Amino acid sequence: MNVVLLAGGVGGAKMAEGLAANVGRELSIIVNTGDDLELHGLAVWPDHDTVAYTLAGLDDQVRGWGLRDESWTVMDRLETLGGLEWFRLGDQDLATHLWRTDRLRAGGRPTEVALELGAAMGIEPRILLMSDQPVRTEVLTEDGWLEFQEYFVHRHQEPTVRQVRFRGVEAAETTAEVLAAIAHADVIVIAPSNPIVSIDPILAVRGIRPALEEARARGVPMVAVSGIVGGKALKGPADRMLASLGEESSALGVARHLVPLISRFVLDRVDVGLEEEISTLGVETLVADTIMTDDAARARLAEEVLAFATSTAGTSP
Amino acid sequence: MNVVLLAGGVGGAKMAEGLAANVGRELSIIVNTGDDLELHGLAVWPDHDTVAYTLAGLDDQVRGWGLRDESWTVMDRLETLGGLEWFRLGDQDLATHLWRTDRLRAGGRPTEVALELGAAMGIEPRILLMSDQPVRTEVLTEDGWLEFQEYFVHRHQEPTVRQVRFRGVEAAETTAEVLAAIAHADVIVIAPSNPIVSIDPILAVRGIRPALEEARARGVPMVAVSGIVGGKALKGPADRMLASLGEESSALGVARHLVPLISRFVLDRVDVGLEEEISTLGVETLVADTIMTDDAARARLAEEVLAFATSTAGTSP
């Protein structure tokens, strides 16, 4: 069963790991690149790397991001020199960025570089970039337009987001690898990532939405998992963003945001009661335990999502 | 007493430290940039950093290069990923390259970036780049032209050097800072660095040799210290290079290489007997203990060199 996952960072990575436990190399992940940045001359791809580290079993499940047993020698010394210190890169993480920057400077196409890195890390699923061209998410706040990491890391997501844009997206198009993955998909899953700054950038890249619509028209189930549980984002500022952008900070809000693209929707048990209103959007619903606390929970949720997606008829009990 | 030192890496750094112990902030070092390279997207300046680390008291005197108490977490992980591993950058060393690459990408002029770094490291003397434009030393071997670090680090200086060139030197010119330092110099010292690949690149940059000749014409003493002792280079391939390029691998060979620029020459006690022939080149000589085994030896040699340079008449006993 070929599965395609649209994913941002942490929520996407957990969903990817759960799906990989079920379908292994039949999983392709289309990852958001709108959070990427260049730092100290290095190509840093936060969402890609969160997914990659998680799939390689190297993620720090306690801290929730980065590599396990990470050390910070380089950043500590950089601070001594008075260098940029708000975006800290761990020592092992830095090796990824050096490796990637080498390959890119040698002329490697970003998607191929990502696939090479996946192979070097022993990852079975394919992690595909939404585009080989740079797209940069920016948010409008009271302090003007901020680059995403400036907002997300440096300002701790504190400024209120009034508008979101994906700089460069007009000139970006998706890749042959992404189009082939969607064309061969039996199921398409949208991860419980931030719908505004993790999923929307993917959908905004030329070629992706039409390919998904074509898949849906072919009858390929398209299922989203809510990243908003009990009105709150499991991680990050999705709840506040939905509210400040005039949407609803709830599983219902997420479903509305993704309709009419999706055909099925998974919400958490905490949100029992919302499924009726979500059904009126024209999507079938499943209520499940969506909080992926450990590897077993990730695998189990993914199994339920795949069963739900491929069931012939299915509003859940 | 304003002292200007022309310097390459290790030999230059030891001489710089000895001179700094005598004249402190009145020392300006003009450093070779022909060994510089871009690695993983980072600006790596080996000779500059060897001098800087030594002056900051951070140099590893046992290993002879790099930083004391260095760790290798990033490179070890990079090797696991199958990345370039012949040019290894230590964790703390990497912080320097990240810091510098940031400043350069923000538009900093290389010389200003170097001076900022010196200030951040608490270094009193000024380390000046020979040029703000890139100059890259290359050597012709049986395998064709090799970039300097490819020859020096990757091939362990094993190929025989038939010719040396400084790529980019036609387009490079020296800086206002270098010209001002030479114009105000009371003494100019050429370090016991490799005359062919450390000193020659400096002399080849437009503006430097005429400025030195003008200084000499004004009566500023110009003293070189031999880096060849008993026919052997203290470190590196200078002896083999001199021989394969048809020069003599001896203190006499070094003196011949630097005449007529220099007015005085320091050779090691091991080479007693050569001073007569060196004198016939028109330079005054001093025989001294030139092997700078520790801080005290560096300071003592520098003191002798300065006394010799400023003595009114002086072929040594």
d(CA B92, nearest CA chain A) in Å: 5
d(CA B116, nearest CA chain A) in Å: 10
Tell me if B95 and A101 make a contact (CB, 8 A cut-off): no
Using a CB-CB distance cutoff of 8 angstroms, which residues of chain B are in contact with residue A83?
95, 98-99, 102
Look at residue B251 in the predicted model and tell me its pLDDT: 97
The residues, ordered by sequence, that sit 6+ positions from B254 with a Cβ below 8 Å of its Cβ are B195, B224, B226, B227, B228, B242, B265
Residue B312 has pLDDT above 80, yes or no: no
Using a CB-CB distance cutoff of 8 angstroms, which residues of chain B are in contact with residue A71?
73
Spell out the domain ranges in chain A: 3-56+109-140+166-310
Tell me if A73 and B77 make a contact (CB, 8 A cut-off): no
Look at residue B36 in the predicted model and tell me its pLDDT: 97
ipTM score of complex = 0.87
Look at residue A48 in the predicted model and tell me its pLDDT: 97
The model's pTM is 0.90
Residue B225: pLDDT band (50, 70, 90) is: very high
Look at residue A313 in the predicted model and tell me its pLDDT: 55
Using a CB-CB distance cutoff of 8 angstroms, which residues of chain B are in contact with residue A53?
none
Look at residue B234 in the predicted model and tell me its pLDDT: 85
Average pLDDT, chain A: 94
How would CATH label the architecture of A3-56+109-140+166-310? 3-Layer(aba) Sandwich (3.40)
Secondary structure of B94-161 in HEC code, one letter for each residue: HHHHHHHHHHHHCCCCHHHHHHHHHHHCCCCCEEEECCCCCCEEEEEECCEEEEHHHHHHHCCCCCCC
B45 touches chain A (CB under 8 A): no
Q: Which fold has domain B3-140+167-310?
A: Rossmann fold (3.40.50)
- What would the mean pLDDT of B86-96 be, rounded to a whole number? 94
Percentage of residues of chain B with pLDDT beyond 90: 91
B56 touches chain A (CB under 8 A): no
Separation CA B28–CA B126 (nearest Å): 5
Residue A314 has pLDDT above 50, yes or no: no
Tell me if A40 and B102 make a contact (CB, 8 A cut-off): yes
pLDDT digits (tens, 9 = 90+) for A71-98: 999 999 999 999 877 899 999 999 999 9
- What would the mean pLDDT of A7-28 be, rounded to a whole number? 96
Residue A63 has pLDDT above 80, yes or no: no
In A, minimum Cα distance to B121 occurs at A81
In B, minimum Cα distance to A117 occurs at B81
pLDDT digits (tens, 9 = 90+) for A246-277: 999 999 999 999 999 999 999 999 999 999 99
Residue B317: pLDDT band (50, 70, 90) is: very low
Q: Side-chain half-sphere of B66: how many Cα atoms within 13 Å?
A: 16
Tell me if B81 and A102 make a contact (CB, 8 A cut-off): no
Residue A317: pLDDT band (50, 70, 90) is: very low
Tell me if A92 and B73 make a contact (CB, 8 A cut-off): yes
Look at residue B62 in the predicted model and tell me its pLDDT: 77
d(CA A100, nearest CA chain B) in Å: 8
Residue A30 · residue A179 · CB < 8 Å: no
pLDDT digits (tens, 9 = 90+) for B3-13: 999 999 889 99
Indicate which of B81, B89, B105, B121 best probes the interface with A, i.e. most A CBs within 10 Å of its own CB: B81
Helix (H, G, I), strand (E, B) or coil at B235: coil
Residue B237 · residue B193 · CB < 8 Å: no
Using a CB-CB distance cutoff of 8 angstroms, which residues of chain A are in contact with residue B106?
none
Residues 229-258 of A with CB under 8 A from B: none
Give the DSSP H or E segment for B265: strand B264-268
pLDDT digits (tens, 9 = 90+) for A121-172: 999 999 999 999 999 999 999 999 999 999 999 999 999 999 999 999 999 9
Cis link prior to B221 (omega < 30° from 0)?
no
Residue A196 has pLDDT above 60, yes or no: yes
Q: Side-chain half-sphere of A258: how many Cα atoms within 13 Å?
A: 32
Residue A315: pLDDT band (50, 70, 90) is: very low
Look at residue B313 in the predicted model and tell me its pLDDT: 55
Nearest-CB residue to A73 (from B71, B81, B99): B71
